[in-house]
Amino acid sequence: MSNLSKEWAHSSLRGMMLIREFEETADKLSLRGKIPGGIHNSSGQEAVAVGVLSALDPLDVIATTHRSHHHTLAKGFSAREVMAELFTKSTGVSRGRGGSMHLGDFHRGHFGGNGIVGAGVGIAMGAALGIQQRGDAKVSVGFVGDGGVNTGRTWEAINMAVIWKLPLIVIIDNNQYAVETFVDRVTGGGDIAKRGEGFGLPSYTINGQDVVEVNEYTAKARQRALAGEGPTIINALTYRYYGHNVGEKGQYRTQDEILDWKTNRDPIDLFIARATSEGLITDSEVAALRDDVKKEVEDAVDFAEKSPQPDLNSILVDVDSGLLGGK
């Protein structure tokens, strides 16, 4: 008997499969020059995104990093609108203004990806302060990487969230490499979660390849935040299968290491094994989900290719409050 619901299992598995299919497809399109400006592929990190977002309410806020496709899809944005944004089309999440690194929509609680290392937590902390000031029953989640946790701004934001008991959850999407630098070589004190003790907030290092574990810790952190008890840090250990950016010639990791993660710690395979053994899903249902996400991504590419570029006359839209003629 499983303590997971069948519905949750299917939806989480589908969510992870969609991200994988999306990223594998986007990677190829980027290498072929169809997507301008390159992408940061999140293949391998699906359980962090789906585990966190499945524990949140749709109105909760997230702020993410340069690697944000997985968070955005897991938040419920459609493959169509995310792919269209990668193609910088007017039908994209950010109306074609942002591209891969600037997916976001404030009205749907997505405060954006950004190109500044460690900025996600600061943005999320500001959103958490806003939530507290307004008395909303929401939380704010800031994603940061293992490189970003060694920036000062991240800890300034965490400190403020602690003293003001802000409804903030810090998720370290810890794929262990800051571009080509291994986390242990540049991180004082070993386990990053130990830093939380010094700042006075609960802080956990967890298995980021286990979507259930990520979900449970996030749900607990959300309850704490809603109860007015303040922020939590979750350091989710994961791994990216591709380079930092598309087409990177990575020579800082061994092929054996990459293969080990892909073979023995793949978040999708691990969850299929668990869900199958607990009687939550059958082989044919898994196959049907694979077909389903493949079709969804094919449709998304078709949609993105056929969508128009933003109209030049709309260049001031969303830029100002109306002073310069924007809307």
Query: What amino acid is encoded at 175 in this protein?
Result: N
Inter-residue contact 87 to 304 (CB < 8 Å): yes
Residues 242-261 that bind other proteins (CB under 8 A): 246-249
The H or E element containing residue 242 is: none
d(CA 311, CA 315): 7
User: What minimum distance in Å lies between the beta carbon of 41 and other proteins?
Assistant: 13
Inter-residue contact 27 to 69 (CB < 8 Å): no
Integer CA distances (angstroms), 318 to 94, 127, 322, 325, 327, in order: 10, 19, 9, 10, 6
Q: State the number of binding residues for other proteins (CB under 8 A).
A: 11
H-only helix segments in 32-143: 46-53, 69-74, 79-86, 119-134
User: What minimum distance in Å lies between the beta carbon of 68 and other proteins?
Assistant: 18
**Is the CB of 35 or the CB of 139 nearer to other proteins?**
35
d(CA 63, CA 52): 13
**According to CB under 8 A, which one of 34, 108, 153, 220 is a site residue for other proteins?**
34
User: What minimum distance in Å lies between the beta carbon of 166 and other proteins?
Assistant: 36
Quick check: 30 binds other proteins (CB under 8 A)? yes
User: What minimum distance in Å lies between the beta carbon of 120 and other proteins?
Assistant: 22
d(CA 41, CA 209): 16
User: What minimum distance in Å lies between the beta carbon of 253 and other proteins?
Assistant: 16
- Interface region with other proteins, contact rule CB under 8 A, candidates 27-35, 68-76, 153-161, 285-293: 27-35
User: What DSSP designation does 110 have?
Assistant: B
Residues 41-100 that bind other proteins (CB under 8 A): none
SS3 label, residue 232? strand
Query: What contacts 194, CB < 8 A, 6 or more positions away?
Result: 203
- Interface region with other proteins, contact rule CB under 8 A, candidates 34-42, 81-89, 207-215, 259-267: 34-42
Count other Cβ atoms within 10 Å, centred on residue 9.
23
- Interface region with other proteins, contact rule CB under 8 A, candidates 61-69, 74-82, 146-154, 240-248: 240-248
Count other Cβ atoms within 10 Å, centred on residue 62.
31
**According to CB under 8 A, which one of 1, 33, 256, 284 is a site residue for other proteins?**
33
**According to CB under 8 A, which one of 1, 3, 7, 32 is a site residue for other proteins?**
32
User: What minimum distance in Å lies between the beta carbon of 179 and other proteins?
Assistant: 14
**Is the CB of 247 or the CB of 326 nearer to other proteins?**
247
**According to CB under 8 A, which one of 2, 6, 11, 38 is a site residue for other proteins?**
38
User: What minimum distance in Å lies between the beta carbon of 43 and other proteins?
Assistant: 16
Q: Which residues bind other proteins (CB under 8 A)?
A: 30-34, 37-38, 246-249
